[in-house]
Structure 1
């Protein structure tokens, strides 16, 4: 099922959420419906958040990401290493967030493919300026929303280990498990591997 994605700033309230995605996938494996999962997450605080508002902001993104991960990837994510889980989570974020996918492909992935291991503020600023010129939606966002989004993008890079340190500029090449590469290639999603810098 292909979802027609539009630019969105939902990463502001969602970010990496690896632990939370794993919780949802485990509930899915138990056969719970999406409605039951939502209810259980909220009632039993499965995400271990300290306030309901944060759950309400994060849950829609986590549910969308869970929908993009097939059984093969679910098994790898829940039974594999933390590095494997991070890469599958990164894939799910790109698959559900068009702007972040384009950022990965056009900025981070491009740098890694060219053996350029430095991401600077100007790279991120240029990307957002270019997207605002291309899209009325991005152009309509407030500068504070865009600043938050830039931080959210960098946080995802750090959490997925593409960015070496939280405040740094140095990029790291991901080591992507062959099973993930082969599976994504077989299902027609090789562009996401490319966006990770392969």
Structure 2
């Protein structure tokens, strides 16, 4: 089950952010509360950002993303390779953001099932148009918000390795560590694995 029941545009300010997610997961693992983590991030600038305004905006959403991970996934995220961390972060993004999860299911999963390894601009535009027709809330979004979300979705795919590069639109399958795959299945979240193309 995803945390948000309504569509959201929060990914415009809190995209992939694997480094930040890892930092927060470490602090969680050390026993810090959400309030203490907020203090550390903002007062000690542990992300080392030049501008704290973007951190302030993204922080609540990154924190929620980390909170969606159980101890096992959090531990793997902290201790294992970048490749493992990417997949866990993608899973957390899908758990947190309903619109992105539906995009993964309806566009990426469908393409990979059909061995279609090409993501076209038309695919993304059609997905957003359909959702805007179905959701009164989404239909009120500005053109710039929608354009930014499309960019962020593609960038997440690029950063996780599903999209090879932005120009060609070529897709590839993720290599998902068996420990992640087994654990997510045991949690009853097989649909998230399928959305990643497994």
TM-score range, shorter chain: over 0.9
TM-score by length of 2: 0.97
TM-score by length of 1: 0.97
> Which residue in 1 is equivalent to 2:81?
81
- Partners of 2:33 and 2:133 lie apart in 1 by 41
Aligned length: 198
Q: Does 1:106 align with 2:106?
A: yes
Tell me the CA shift for residue 135 of structure 1: 0.5
Tell me the CA shift for residue 58 of structure 1: 1.3
Tell me the CA shift for residue 4 of structure 1: 4.5
**Mapping for residues 53-132 of structure 1, pairs under 5 Å:** 53-132=53-132
Q: Does 1:19 align with 2:19?
A: yes
Post-superposition Cα deviations, 1:64-118, rounded to whole Å, max 9, x if no partner, equal 1011110110111111111110000000000000000000010011111111000
After superposition, the CA RMSD in angstroms is: 1.2
Tell me which stretches of 4 or more aligned residues in structure 1 moved more than 4 Å: none
Extract unaligned runs of 5+ from structure 1: none
> Which residue in 2 is equivalent to 1:156?
156
Post-superposition Cα deviations, 1:142-172, rounded to whole Å, max 9, x if no partner, equal 1111000100100100011111013330001
Check conservation: 1:8, 1:97, Cα contact below 8 A. Answer: yes
- Partners of 2:94 and 2:43 lie apart in 1 by 29
Tell me the CA shift for residue 5 of structure 1: 2.5
Q: Structure 1 residues 127 and 182, CA, compared in 2 at 3 Å: closer, same or farther? A: same
- Partners of 1:184 and 1:87 lie apart in 2 by 11
